[in-house]
Amino acid sequence: MAEAMAEKGYVGTSVEDVLKRARVSRQSFYRLFSSKLDCFMAAFDQAGDLVRDRLAEAAQGGADPADRFERAITVYLDVLASEPGYARLFLVEVFAAGPEAVERRSAVQRDLAAGLADLMGATGERARFACQVVVAAVGTMVTPAVASGDAAALRAVGPPIVEHVRELARSGVLDG
């Protein structure tokens, strides 16, 4: 699904396109999935799991939260660059897939924001909201590079984001 959508987009991708790429019969497909959307949601969940797992690994160790954030954002951008099909599915095509997919993406973003807050030691309402803003901003900043398949532009957003989060931490926005 992710590969087919990277080529044709969600709207332009048919079940037949997925069948050809996966080299499975229509009967096999419908044993696993009830529809194209169901297949999309399974691929979306795989993409979300991949991102969450890699971020959890990257955030381990080290005392300085900003250093852990830097590792995490670098890994996140590397995952997006190395998995362009999943990245496009996760950040671009999700909006074409409809309300259920958009809500699932919103849930992942809430999880990522909560993880960032935990990583940064942000416990207060204001600090946790700042983490939600950072996650939303990162998503907005990386989406054009993912949509155009520009891995260099994708990775280039990392250093300014890291510096901004460091400044938020220094200024006390992420305290408490």
Report if residue 6 sits inside a domain.
Answer: no
What is residue 57's predicted lDDT score, i.e. its pLDDT? Answer: 84
Report if residue 154 sits inside a domain.
Answer: yes
Copy the structure tokens of residue 157: 């957003």
What is residue 64's predicted lDDT score, i.e. its pLDDT? Answer: 87
pLDDT of 100 above 90: yes
CB atoms within 10 A of CB 122: 25
Provide the H-helix boundaries in the chain: 2-12, 15-22, 26-32, 36-58, 65-82, 84-91, 99-120, 125-148, 151-156, 158-171
**Which DSSP state fits 35?**
S
CB 79 within 8 A of CB 48: no
Report the CATH number at residue 40: 1.10.357.10
Residue-wise pLDDT tens digits, 142-173 = 999 999 999 999 999 999 999 999 999 999 99
**Can you give the pTM of this predicted structure?**
0.88
Report if residue 59 sits inside a domain.
Answer: yes
What is residue 131's predicted lDDT score, i.e. its pLDDT? Answer: 95
Report if residue 83 sits inside a domain.
Answer: yes
Residue-wise pLDDT tens digits, 44-91 = 999 889 888 888 888 777 778 999 899 999 999 999 999 999 999 999
Q: Which residues are within 8 A (CB) of 62 and not within 5 positions of it... i.e. 6 or more apart?
A: 68, 71
- Please indicate whether residue 56 or residue 37 has the higher confidence score (pLDDT): 37
Residue-wise pLDDT tens digits, 101-131 = 999 999 999 999 999 999 999 999 999 999 9
Report if residue 100 sits inside a domain.
Answer: yes
What is residue 58's predicted lDDT score, i.e. its pLDDT? Answer: 83
What is residue 75's predicted lDDT score, i.e. its pLDDT? Answer: 93
Copy the structure tokens of residue 63: 């005392």
Total domains in the chain come to: 1
- Angstrom CA distances, 165 to 2, 87, 117, 125, stand at 31, 23, 11, 17
Gyration radius from the chain CA atoms: 18
Report if residue 114 sits inside a domain.
Answer: yes
Copy the structure tokens of residue 80: 């997006």
Burial of 51 (0-12, 13-18, 19+ CB in 10 A): buried
Report if residue 11 sits inside a domain.
Answer: no
What is the rounded CA–CA span in Å between residue 128 and residue 18?
Answer: 40
Residue-wise pLDDT tens digits, 2-26 = 888 888 999 999 999 999 999 999 9
Burial of 166 (0-12, 13-18, 19+ CB in 10 A): middle
**What domain range includes position 42?**
36-171
Report if residue 12 sits inside a domain.
Answer: no
